[in-house]
Structure 1
Amino acid sequence: MNKNSNAYTFIFAIAMVVIVAVTLSFTATSLSPMQKENVRQEKMQSILSTIGIETERANAEELFNKHITQQIALDHNGEEKEGVVAFEVDLAKELSKPVEEQSFPIYLANYEGSEFYIAPLRGSGLWDAIWGYIALKDDANTVKGVIFDHKGETAGLGAEITTDWFQQRFVDEKIFDENGNLVGVNVVKGYSGGNNKDDNKVDSISGATITGDGVTDMLSNRLKNYLPFFKKIKDIKVVTR
């Protein structure tokens, strides 16, 4: 075939496109198991970090199995759902279902002689989804730790929810008010309460009011689904509103 002809150029271009497509497809397929495993280990890291365990990804599963004592998928009544693996519940998909059909994962942990309850979170920021985990101490009220992440918040503004200095503000905050109402932890612009851990409030990120509101809503909206469970296992009086 004449290499200077239009037909040769056309056939060569098609051949290159096919070769590149097959190569990329093969690479993606080959790497898929590794990518899924990395995501699984990173999820374990995030859960562990809420109770103060920082670890490399390679060690995450060992520590997860050691300190996470139970993994339960709950229904909206706080009862365990048979046949549902808590770790495999995808909140992004669950949120598209009616509440009565959703699964609510919770992880029970033991670390340094203390018991904790860890719940996954998901909500909306300024531009896209935000998510994370919150760990509560044995009273099912006091925050042990949180971790947040996002898909598309603005760097230097809303994206700061991923920073240690912001997440540290939630430590020892309460999710119930003095009357037993579940209010979560409110991210408040211009907060002047200092280090008050009993007012259910933390200071917001400057210039990221909408993302902060998203965190507030995410905490209260997700945690209220665990009220029936906490009522069953703890001797606490709470009010649903």
Structure 2
Amino acid sequence: MNTNSNTYTVIYASVVVIVVAFLMAFVAAALKDKQDENVVLDKKKQILSALNVDTKDKDPAQLYKDCVKYEYILNAKGDTLAEEGGFLIDVKVENSKALDERQLPLYVCSINGATKYVIPMRGAGLWGPIWGYIALNDDKNTVFGVYFSHESETPGLGAEIATDKFKMPFHGKHIKQNGSFTSIAVVKPDKTAEGLDYVDGVSGGTMTSQGVNNMLKEGMGQYVEFLKK
């Protein structure tokens, strides 16, 4: 075949495209399992962080197995639909459904022999999704720990919700007042909230702080019936 002909050029280019596409598909397929494993492991680390469990230089998968006893699926009435499978529930998908149709994940954990309940949450920040986990003591009222993260909040401003400086003040706060669910307010620094516990929001990150405030209220609000039991 004439290597200088247009036909040769077209055939050669087509073969190269096909080979490259095959190699890319092969690499993507080969890496998918590892990527999926990393996503699962990262989620377990986030839950452990809400439980104040340090995973540095340790096996997060084993720590998760030791601490998380059940991965419940609840409905909005607070009834248990299943004692396993909650980890696989996509909170983003469930939030798009009517409340009475949602499957609500709940992690029942044990820390030094004490029962903790971890509730996952998802909301909206200034620039994109935010999410987190809140761990409650067995009184279903007192906060044991929290974890927050974000997709694209501004460094030094809204992104501060992922720092210990923002998270630590939640410890020991109460999500109920006089037996009724009130959530925890996230307020502007030096402001207060009447009738419920509150923490300072991020200075300069008003919209992200409001997003966390809404996420807490709406996220935990789905579990009100469970929290009553």
Same topology, TM > 0.5: yes
Distance 2:46 2:2 in 1: 60
Could you state the TM-score of these two structures normalised by the residue count of structure 1? Answer: 0.87
Are 1:103 and 2:103 counterparts?
yes
Instruction: Name the counterpart of 1:201.
Output: 198
| Shift of residue 83, structure 1, vs aligned partner | 8.4
| Distance of 1:134 and 1:56 partners within structure 2 | 20
Gaps of 5+ in 1: 233-241
Secondary structure of residue in 2 paired with 1:217: helix
Aligned to 2:219: 222
User: What residue in structure 2 maps to residue 237 of structure 1?
Assistant: none
Question: Are 2:209 and 1:212 aligned?
Answer: yes
Cα distance change on mapping 1:68 and 1:162 into 2, 3 Å: same
RMSD: 2.1
Mapped to 2, the partners of 1:19 and 1:130 lie a distance apart of 40
In 2, the alpha carbon distance for the partners of 1:136 and 1:82 equals 20
Identity of aligned residues (%): 40
What amino acid is the match of 1:163?
Answer: T
* Equivalent in the alignment of 1:170: 170
Match of 2:181 in 1: 182
**Structure 1 counterpart of 2:37:** 37
Out of 3-12 and 72-81, give the one that drifted further: 3-12
Q: Deviations over 1:50-83 (max 9, x none)?
A: 1111215971221112111222100010001148
Bigger share in strand: 2
Structure 2 length normalisation: TM-score?
Answer: 0.91
Residues 64-107 of structure 1: CA distance to partner in whole angstroms, max 9, x if unpaired? 12111222100010001148711110011111111111011111
SS in 2 for 1:110: strand
Structure 1 residues 13 and 211: alpha-carbon distance in aligned structure 2, compared to 1, 3 A threshold: same
1:200 and 1:75 map into 2 onto residues whose CA distance is 27
Query: How many residue pairs are counted as aligned between the two chains?
Result: 228
1-structure distance, mates of 2:103, 2:57? 27
Give structure 2 stretches of 5+ with no counterpart: none
- The 3 A distance-change label for structure 1 pair 222 and 15 is same
Q: Distance in 1 between matches of 2:6 and 2:118?
A: 64
Question: Aligned letter for 2:173?
Answer: E
